[in-house]
Structure 1
Amino acid sequence: MTVGEKFFKEPKRLLLVDDEKGYVAVLAKRMAKRNIQVTPAYSGSQAIQALRKQDFDAAVLDLKMEDMDGIEVLKIFQKMVPSMPVIMLTGHGSEKAAREGMEFGAFDYLTKPCDLEELIEKIRQACEVRR
């Protein structure tokens, strides 16, 4: 039994923000097996709209999107729901931006492509912090 399967006995609501639709679909399908209910958002503006409609246990946010910079979205999230932990996803070349996100209140970051088990563990940690 993995960490994710052991921890998520009750469903967790995750806002997954990434403009790579295929990547989101794969993650959402795999996370559903771990009792994580994923609401996908393919842009910063979609993510903000989703956050206005629903409460989430945590968010996973890509830093590089076409419509809005991830740091800008993070700042808006912090104003809307400061208690929601945000895990940032970054490409290999933009770890500096991820560290900047940490300064603006992100919970943590991972480099894409990330290991699913590592991401599940970060989500578990984020949900523990929010309790």
Structure 2
Amino acid sequence: MARYKVLLVDDEEELVRALAERLEIRQLECEVALNGEEALRMVEDNPPHVILLDLKMPGMDGMEVLRRVKKSHPEIQVVVLTGHGSESDEQIVRRLGAIDYLQKPVDIRELVKALDYAYAARD
């Protein structure tokens, strides 16, 4: 049985599906959204406990997804995982309510630790 549900949001389909498989091996229920709009629909239809969110995506970027999720579902914790981040991006996403900020590539143990922390910190 899954410990909790994670929504993975990233436009790199191969990477995000492989990551979902690795997390499911660790008893996490994973759903995948390949863009911001799809992620917001999924949050409304069946809210996850934690979102793992990429920043750089075509269309709606991760910062806008984060803003909207925290406005409509402040109880959902968001961990940002990006390959193109900066210190200023980290400051902005933390101000917007992200609980953690990780850089790709990330060690799977470090990622699971961040997700577990986010799950434990829910309102």
Q: Provide the secondary structure at the position in 1 that maps to 2:86.
A: helix
Kindly indicate whether the alpha-carbon contact (under 8 Å) linking 2:2 and 2:29 is maintained by their aligned counterparts in 1.
no
TM-score (norm 2): 0.93
For residues 105 and 123 of structure 1, the distance between their equivalents in structure 2, rounded to whole angstroms, comes to 15
- Describe how 1:1-131 pairs up with structure 2 within 5 A: 10-130=2-122
Q: Provide the secondary structure at the position in 1 that maps to 2:75.
A: coil
Question: Identity over the aligned pairs, expressed in percent?
Answer: 38
Kindly indicate whether the alpha-carbon contact (under 8 Å) linking 2:56 and 2:84 is maintained by their aligned counterparts in 1.
no
TM-score (norm 1): 0.88
How many residues in Structure 1 have an aligned counterpart in Structure 2? 123
- Specify the code of the residue in structure 1 equivalent to 2:36: G
Kindly indicate whether the alpha-carbon contact (under 8 Å) linking 2:55 and 2:82 is maintained by their aligned counterparts in 1.
yes
For residues 55 and 100 of structure 2, the distance between their equivalents in structure 1, rounded to whole angstroms, comes to 12
For residues 107 and 24 of structure 1, the distance between their equivalents in structure 2, rounded to whole angstroms, comes to 20
Change (3 A) 1:93 1:15: closer
Query: Please, which runs of 5 or more residues in structure 1 have no aligned partner?
Result: 1-8
Change (3 A) 1:27 1:15: same
Residue 94 of structure 1, CA deviation:
3.0
For residues 64 and 12 of structure 1, the distance between their equivalents in structure 2, rounded to whole angstroms, comes to 26
Change (3 A) 1:48 1:70: same
For residues 84 and 56 of structure 2, the distance between their equivalents in structure 1, rounded to whole angstroms, comes to 12
Ranges of 4+ aligned residues in structure 1 off by more than 4 Å: none
For residues 31 and 89 of structure 1, the distance between their equivalents in structure 2, rounded to whole angstroms, comes to 14
